[in-house]
Amino acid sequence: MESYKIGILKGDGIGPEIVDEGIKVIQKIAALNAFKVDFIDEKIGGDAIDAYGVPITDETLKVLSTCEAILMGSVGDPKYDHIAPELRPEKALLKMRKTLGLFANIRPARLYEALKEHSPLKSSILSDGLDICVVRELNGGIYFGEQVESADGQSASDLMAYSAPEVKRIAKIAFEMAMTRDKKVTSVDKANVLASSRLWRKTVIEVSKDFPEVTLEHLYVDNAAMQLIINPMQFDVILTSNLFGDILSDEMSVLTGSIGLLPSASINESKLGLYEPIHGSAPSIAGQNIANPIATILSVAMMFRYSLGRHDCADQIENAVLKVLNNGHRTIDLAGKDQKSLSTSEIGDLIAEAL
Ligand code: NAD
Ligand code: IPM
Ligand code: MN
């Protein structure tokens, strides 16, 4: 019997609740398709700080590197806001992305017909559904540049740096992605001000020469933030740097109804991938069984598609999510004022049943 080894990182806040629903879906799909899954539970974020004093251990990173894919919930809690920067829960995520070489962060956003009224945008702007894929660089830029905090606490700096090879490899992923979609890449930068963005733009133009069928456009990030609201239908693939991609993907999630819906894949040069919702640990709703598990469940679908090569299982999961949404089932983030909302685990049960 075929078997997959999947690392599980529940993390903090709503992490354990939403990952449990992801596991539920994996177990059901494994039973339906007659394969076996070995779950390797590891700790990350505040959960690891409480157990080991560090947000991720080297041993955990070693174990994860032997898995075929990793499913993560979320990290972070206000309780760790005042500890040393190197020990913050978020640092674990950055360290894992870097150590495992997960340089390509793929964040698709689709507005489902059933959720059209949940988008803050008018239907005249959303002519026929919204389908955008952000390809965010994840191993470089300002997240990994030199960081300095002066001893007197009066100055601090973060360096935003990119090299041409770093830009090249992420641009290639975006163009390849566009070839499977509507063949358009919008590269988002701040080349009117930043040197790293001028290198970014020049390098993206170079890479585009290998993809003559793909239309390439450039937008400054401030304008891109506006264009996402006034004319989101112009976008197919958005290619951008680490920080800009982080910000634009949260903005994009709102257009599709809720941040609780959007999945992500972070992949490296081989097939190892980290799969996680784009949202965080949502501390204010943690432990109440009310968070939306769909972003995590759709991340599981991406895991089957990108790391495990099981497009059949990915399709099955995405169809089950669609069915549950089409039947009007909603968690609290999507329930209207007069609509009954379901719990995290009830939505997970319905999706597992719909498989
Ligand atoms: P957040 O994404 O956790 O929450 C933003 C808002 O969205 C909140 O109102 C929250 O209740 C809501 N929300 C998020 N996920 C939801 C879900 N599944 N269902 C329903 N509502 C949901 O962002 P934040 O409040 O800025 O950050 C909280 C913590 O999470 C911080 O410590 C931050 O560093 C961390 N964080 C972690 C990740 C990650 O693990 N990948 C991502 C973003 C933020
Ligand atoms: C995300 C998060 C992370 C990021 C944080 C928690 C480090 O916001 O995955 O979007 O900024 O990349
Ligand atoms: Mn983010």
User: Residue 60's domain is classified under what CATH number?
Assistant: 3.40.718.10
- Residue 74 to residue 282: CA distance in whole angstroms: 9
List the catalytic residue out of 4, 143, 162, 306: 143
Tens-digit pLDDT profile for residues 104-119: 999 999 999 999 989 9
- Please report the pLDDT score of residue 75 as a whole number: 98
250 labelled ligand-binding = yes
Q: Which of 72, 94, 240 to mutate to test the pocket of ligand 2 (most atoms within 8 A of CB)?
A: 94
- Please report the pLDDT score of residue 18 as a whole number: 98
Give one word for 182, left, alpha or beta, with left for phi > 0 and alpha for psi -120 to 50.
alpha
- Residue 276 to residue 286: CA distance in whole angstroms: 17
Question: Ligand 2, closest atom to CA 243?
Answer: 11
Residue 278 lies in a domain: yes
- Asked if 229 and 286 sit in the same domain, the reply is no
Q: Are strands 263-267 and 104-110 parallel, antiparallel or unpaired?
A: antiparallel
Tens-digit pLDDT profile for residues 296-348: 999 999 999 999 999 999 999 999 999 999 999 999 999 977 788 999 999 99
Q: In which residue ranges of the chain is pLDDT below 70? A: none
88 labelled ligand-binding = no
Last residue of a domain, one of 236, 255, 274: 255
Question: ipTM surpassing 0.95, yes or no?
Answer: yes
Q: Are 75 and 217 in contact (CB under 8 A)?
A: no
- Please report the pLDDT score of residue 171 as a whole number: 98
Nearest to 286 by CA among 37, 19, 52, 66: 19
Q: Which of 279, 296, 332 to mutate to test the pocket of ligand 1 (most atoms within 8 A of CB)?
A: 279
Q: What is the CA radius of gyration of the chain?
A: 20
| Pocket flag, ligand 2, residue 67 (CB < 6 Å) | no
Residue 115 lies in a domain: no
Last residue of a domain, one of 198, 225, 255: 255
Question: Ligand 2, closest atom to CA 94?
Answer: 7
| Pocket flag, ligand 2, residue 90 (CB < 6 Å) | yes
pTM listed for this prediction: 0.97
- Asked if 250 and 267 sit in the same domain, the reply is no
- Residue 58 to residue 60: CA distance in whole angstroms: 5
- Asked if 246 and 265 sit in the same domain, the reply is no
77 labelled ligand-binding = no
Domain with 46, as residue range(s), is 1-106+259-355
Q: Are 285 and 14 in contact (CB under 8 A)?
A: yes
Please give the structure tokens belonging to residue 137. Answer: 């660089």
For the chain, the straight-line distance linking the first and the last C-alpha, in angstroms and rounded, comes to 21
Residue 64 lies in a domain: yes
Residue 213 lies in a domain: yes
Residue 313's H or E segment, with its range, is helix 311-326
- Asked if 222 and 296 sit in the same domain, the reply is no
Residue 201 lies in a domain: yes
Q: Are 12 and 75 in contact (CB under 8 A)?
A: yes
- Asked if 101 and 132 sit in the same domain, the reply is no
- Counted residue by residue, the chain has a size of 355
152 labelled ligand-binding = no
- Residue 354 to residue 55: CA distance in whole angstroms: 37
Residue 131 lies in a domain: yes
Last residue of a domain, one of 226, 255, 284: 255
How far from 347 is each of 29, 112, 308, 326, 350, CA to CA, in Å? 16, 17, 25, 13, 5
Q: Which ligand is nearest to the CA of 77?
A: 1
Residue 112 lies in a domain: no
Residue 113 lies in a domain: no
- Specify the residue with its C-alpha closest to ligand 2, atom 8: 246
- Residue 20 to residue 25: CA distance in whole angstroms: 9
186-221 as b/e, with b when 16 or more CB fall inside 10 Å? Answer: bbbbbbeebebbebbeebbeebbeebeebebebbbb
